[in-house]
Amino acid sequence: MYNPHMETLPEVCRRVRETRERMGWSQSELAERTGVSRDTVGRIERGQLPDAEFLGTLSGVARVSCDWLVLGRDSHHGRGGERVAPDESVLAGVIEGVEAELRELGATLEPKKKAELVVLLYEMMATEEGDQPARTHIARMVKLAT
């Protein structure tokens, strides 16, 4: 069945290659980071459909959204590249959680590092529609950042 929201396979494969190149990785490095063979990476870049596990792992190690890899857009941009407003309730939950954890630890983060942490957590949480950020995820990430 045709899905107008699904990009064509060549586009998915192109974005895998584009992600690898943007990260400055060889096919062998990408294979090692994602737990597949270099031959598998080569086949994907030449047009073989990557499986969900590979795309999920690539998303994590390269810090790109699965939405972008599969659909050509991410949680912050629409199909044509236009900016999409963040989910304010999720964003507020992330900010409140980070601030609470920092207070509890008696720690501070420089503004840029705090912003990067909030963005990373938001991207993780925004993929789970309507869910508020899990306090345990926030706590672990803040502890890692401090």
Domain count, the chain: 2
In a domain, 78, yes or no: no
Alpha helices, DSSP H only, in the chain?
9-23, 27-34, 38-45, 52-62, 66-71, 88-105, 111-126, 135-145
Range of the domain at 64: 9-71
Residues 71-130 have pLDDT tens digits of 776 654 444 444 445 666 777 788 888 889 999 999 988 877 887 777 777 777 655 544
Confidence of residue 7 (pLDDT cuts 50, 70, 90): very low
- Structure-token pair, residue 110: 């420089």
83 within a domain of the structure (yes/no)? no
pLDDT in tens, 28-68: 999 999 999 999 999 999 988 888 888 888 988 888 887 78
pTM for the model stands at 0.49
Which of 5-14, 46-55, 115-124, 136-145 shows the lowest per-residue confidence on average (mean pLDDT)?
Answer: 5-14
Kindly state whether residue 79 falls inside one of the protein's structural domains.
no
